[in-house]
Structure 1
Amino acid sequence: MCDGPWHRRHGFAVDVMLAAGFVLLDTGLTLVGAAWWPEHPGPLAWVMLGAQALACASVAVRRTAPLAVVGVLGVFTLAVTLLISPAGVLTPAHRGNVWAPLATTLAAYGPLFYQRDRRTAYLALAAFTLVVMRPWAPSLTNMTVGLLRTAVGPLLALYFDTRRKLMQALVERAERAERERHLLAERARAEERARLAGEMHDVVTHRVSLMVLQAGALKVTSADEATRRAAEELRAAGCQALEELRDLVGILRTAPQGDRTPSVAGFADLVAESVAVGTPTELTEVGDPALASPVVGRTAYRVLREALTNVRKHAPGARVIVRVEYDNAQVRLTVRNTPPTGGPRSALAGTGSGLGIAHLRQRIELVHGTLHAGPCSDGGFSVEATLPAFVPTSEAAV
């Protein structure tokens, strides 16, 4: 649908209607003796009347050829003037009339509004005014009326052209102010990200680093093999947390330049980690993992990681079945666990923000996927994510 009023969207149709109106108006005024029409018209008068109609019809192209319209009407007016005097072949019934048709008023509007070369427009209008006013046969009435016919149009053109430029300047100023507000908001967000990154780095990184060092020391000094193994797992988990925290701090400080989260190739490692900590986990992959684009693979990895973490927290003793299906259109990930054999471990269940599933749903919606999570009829729990197989990114284009 086009915007704007009808007359702006159909300018040529409007000009055709104006041209037809002036043809009828000038023809009628000429026949009633308001212009150059003789008292006893002959063949030449009728020919000139037809020529006047054609000259008035040229107003239809006043937007595309404004100087041509002025030239056509000027030539016609000059021809009528020369036929009256000095040729004397036309004798007007009222010699005090203005010979130029009324269409000259509209024609004089075009050169200053539609013509880029103002110097040429002024010269054409000056010549046109002389022809209409007939200063070689001075008459106060004729010269005044003729001047008004050729001056009103240019004055209106100058007014509307100035108004149009003023409106454009105001629009550009508003757009520039909007861009500046956007840049200021972006700068404020960047500063806030940098502040948050600094606080997170100072507070969290320090505490996690201490935990990693203490776990490493415990591994070295402990005589119990199970304790050393648990300390090593704690140290490895802390190192991984520091790595992820460093990536998160980088994202907060600047616009993310890349995501180091593993993709679908890391599913086996997650399952192995789950099995290693005592949660029986089975992975089944159907289809070609290469069909999943990088951003989809990373999103699916996060879903699986969060689901396995929740099983360890809230469903101890449960058995987990992971199924991933790849096809050309979508990637479907299903994580389903059996009913737990014991109650939730309070030390683990109380950790975290409790918003893991909600954050995953927001992340999945960014790639136009869906997430369903809820209890099963057998007492277990199911997480099912459906993602598009391909999400266009600059990384995928490399």
Structure 2
Amino acid sequence: MTEGGPWHRRHWVAVDVAIAVAFVLLDTVTTLAGTTWWPRDPGTGAWVLLGAQILAGGTLAVRRVAPLTVVGVLAAFTLTVTLLVSPAGMLEPAHPDGLWAPYSTLPAAYGPLFYLQNRRIAFAVLAVFTVVVMRPWDSSFTTMTIGLLRTAVGPLLALYLDARKRMVQALVERAERAEREQHLLAEQARAEERVRLAGEMHDVVTHRVSLMVLQAGALRVTAEDENTRQAAEELRAAGCQALDELRDLVSILRTPSDGDRTPSVGGFDDLVAESAAVGIPTELVQEGDPAHASPVVGRVAYRVLREALTNVRKHAPGARVTVRVEYDEARLRLTVHNTPPTGRPSSTLAGSGSGLGIAHLRQRIDLVHGKLRAGPSPDGGFSVEATLPAHVPTAETTV
């Protein structure tokens, strides 16, 4: 017995017993009133049959667990009464044209279709049951019609309730599925936002902290005061540790978002000046009109340059960098080339990133239908070349 749900489902045994008792009383009263097979002068046999009818009606208490048994018992009782009336002639009902079957056949006919899995067996049993109740070989049209209705109402009601149950179950499953899908979409949106923030953390924080580490290293070398050199070394070590911890937080994937405040081509000068300030000679050469580049393309180019300069600081200390930007009406071409390094890169600084900077840049550039080439150059240095369309239609550019 389950704790939840409606009362009649939680106490179905009590409900079935109550139904059985009610129909037993109904059949007993109507039989004694002479409306069914009860004779005018009942003898011992009639009272025995009445007791058998009470027992047959009592099987309704197990109509859920044994619906075929209930139908079989009531059919056997009805057939017995019919045979005793004719051809045996051992029973003479007060109303010869009445219906011999008790009213318990009504809920009994409901059970097979609703509680039995095999519908073919249920229909076959109900067909035989209907023939027994109707007595088509020895009855009037009225009796046959009443008998048919007696055994048809229950199955029709069972079919209706079963179809309604299936429909409600399907609607519930559909609602639950829609709720699960909505929950998954919300989880996906949150996951994408976390990935995007992790990517921005890699782009922005790594860039700034690497600048801080290089400036602290330069201060440690040039400072004359021992306390200053020690403080610079502690600052450099703290920056390297921050970069190392940041590496563990950066996600493998990143969802690009153009609706941000990343500088466009106007920020190139600041990036070049920052690299020069930490001891990496960097030259910026721009050809054409920067106005040809849309804001979306400009931000992608800014990220390419920022990542390229960050990699130079990590992996090519002492190298010289040339940044060349070419603008025209159809495209923007950005080339970042560094000469071979003159010093050995710091293992801590070189391993501080996620290792996916170039891969993330390719994802961003693919979104604007651009191309990226990155690899060693013939002079022993390294080159990053990005070719981007000058204009990418977005909602932002139509404002």
Q: TM-score range by the shorter chain?
A: 0.5 to 0.7
Give 1:3's aligned residue.
Answer: 4
Gaps of 5+ in 2: 256-399
By how many angstroms is 1:184 displaced? 0.9
SS in 1 for 2:250: helix
Question: Per-residue CA shift, 1:354-383, capped at 9, x if unaligned?
Answer: xxxxxxxxxxxxxxxxxxxxxxxxxxxxxx
Output the CA distance in 2 between the equivalents of 1:138 and 1:6.
43
Give 1:103's aligned residue.
Answer: 104
Give 1:112's aligned residue.
Answer: 113
How many aligned positions are there?
254
Instruction: Report which of the two structures shows the higher radius of gyration computed on alpha carbons.
Output: 2
Give 1:149's aligned residue.
Answer: 150
By how many angstroms is 1:183 displaced? 1.3
Give 1:63's aligned residue.
Answer: 64
SS in 1 for 2:56: helix
SS in 2 for 1:91: coil
Q: Which amino acid aligns with 2:183?
A: H
Give 1:183's aligned residue.
Answer: 184
Give 2:124's aligned residue.
Answer: 123
Output the CA distance in 2 between the equivalents of 1:5 and 1:198.
53
Are residue 24 (structure 1) and residue 25 (structure 2) matched?
Answer: yes
By how many angstroms is 1:221 displaced? 2.5
Q: Which amino acid aligns with 1:180?
A: E
Q: Which amino acid aligns with 2:14?
A: A
Output the CA distance in 2 between the equivalents of 1:33 and 1:253.
86
By how many angstroms is 1:155 displaced? 0.2
By how many angstroms is 1:197 displaced? 1.5
**Which 4+ runs in 1 deviate beyond 4 A?**
251-254
Output the CA distance in 1 between the equivalents of 2:224 and 2:40.
132
By how many angstroms is 1:251 displaced? 9.4
Q: Which amino acid aligns with 1:102?
A: Y
Are residue 243 (structure 1) and residue 248 (structure 2) matched?
Answer: no
On the 8 A contact 2:199/2:251 being kept in 1, the answer is: no
Output the CA distance in 2 between the equivalents of 1:16 and 1:108.
17
Of structures 1 and 2, the one scoring higher in RCO (CA 8 A, sep 6+) is: 2
Output the CA distance in 2 between the equivalents of 1:239 and 1:250.
19
Output the CA distance in 2 between the equivalents of 1:95 and 1:138.
9
Give 2:94's aligned residue.
Answer: 93
Give 1:199's aligned residue.
Answer: 200
Output the CA distance in 2 between the equivalents of 1:20 and 1:253.
70
Q: Which amino acid aligns with 1:60?
A: A
Give 2:36's aligned residue.
Answer: 35
Q: Which amino acid aligns with 1:226?
A: N
Output the CA distance in 1 between the equivalents of 2:254 and 2:6.
49
Give 1:282's aligned residue.
Answer: none
By how many angstroms is 1:168 displaced? 0.5
By how many angstroms is 1:119 displaced? 0.3
Give 2:82's aligned residue.
Answer: 81
On the 8 A contact 2:217/2:236 being kept in 1, the answer is: yes
By how many angstroms is 1:226 displaced? 1.4
Output the CA distance in 2 between the equivalents of 1:211 and 1:252.
26
Structure 2-normalised TM-score? 0.62
Output the CA distance in 2 between the equivalents of 1:220 and 1:69.
100
By how many angstroms is 1:216 displaced? 1.1
By how many angstroms is 1:219 displaced? 1.4
Give 1:343's aligned residue.
Answer: none
Q: Which amino acid aligns with 2:209?
A: V
Give 1:286's aligned residue.
Answer: none
By how many angstroms is 1:188 displaced? 0.9
Gaps of 5+ in 1: 255-398
By how many angstroms is 1:228 displaced? 1.3
